[in-house]
Structure 1
Amino acid sequence: MKISVDLDKCQDHGQCAIAAPVAFRMNDEGILEYETSVDDAYLDEVEDAADVCPVQAILIDQG
């Protein structure tokens, strides 16, 4: 699956990093970093991360 984050919306809350650490992480400066491509086996975790994002900045493309 492909993941994208609208960095204009993202406020670096870090909830996604808790929900799906395989795809999202906070760097030493507290800024979100993420994988743009993740194995489909992690779909549930990534969907949970998108759901808990307070600003709904995460987009998932399964195509």
Structure 2
Amino acid sequence: MQVVVDLNRCQGYAQCVFLAPKVFELHGDEALMYLPEVPDDQREHVLRAATACPVRAVLVGEPAGAD
């Protein structure tokens, strides 16, 4: 699974950080850093984080060419 955050849309609410802290990390007040390749054990956390984002900035999907 891959994750992309639309940083133009992200408002720094940090719901993703609370729900998937091994994938998302907030630096300072609004600088979000994240792992684009989601570890298998974090899939469910990232899906919850994407759903919880109030501005729908967290996008998840499978890599191109994945079966």
TM-score (norm 1): 0.88
Residue 18 (structure 1) aligned with residue 28 (structure 2)? no
Residue 6 (structure 1) aligned with residue 6 (structure 2)? yes
Alpha-carbon deviation of 1:10? 0.4
Question: What number of residue pairs does the alignment pair up?
Answer: 63
Tell me how large the CA RMSD over aligned residues is.
1.2
Alpha-carbon deviation of 1:61? 1.2
The aligned amino acid for 2:24 is: F
What SS does the aligned partner of 1:17 have? helix
- Residue number in structure 2 paired with 1:58: 58
* Structure 1 residue runs of 4 or more that deviate by more than 2 Å after TM superposition: none
Name the larger-Rg structure: 2
Distance in 1 (alpha carbons) for counterparts of 2:29 and 2:36: 20
What SS does the aligned partner of 1:4 have? strand
Can you give the 5+ residue segments of structure 2 that lack an aligned partner in the other structure?
none
Can you give the 5+ residue segments of structure 1 that lack an aligned partner in the other structure?
none
Distance in 2 (alpha carbons) for counterparts of 1:51 and 1:45: 10
What SS does the aligned partner of 2:59 have? strand
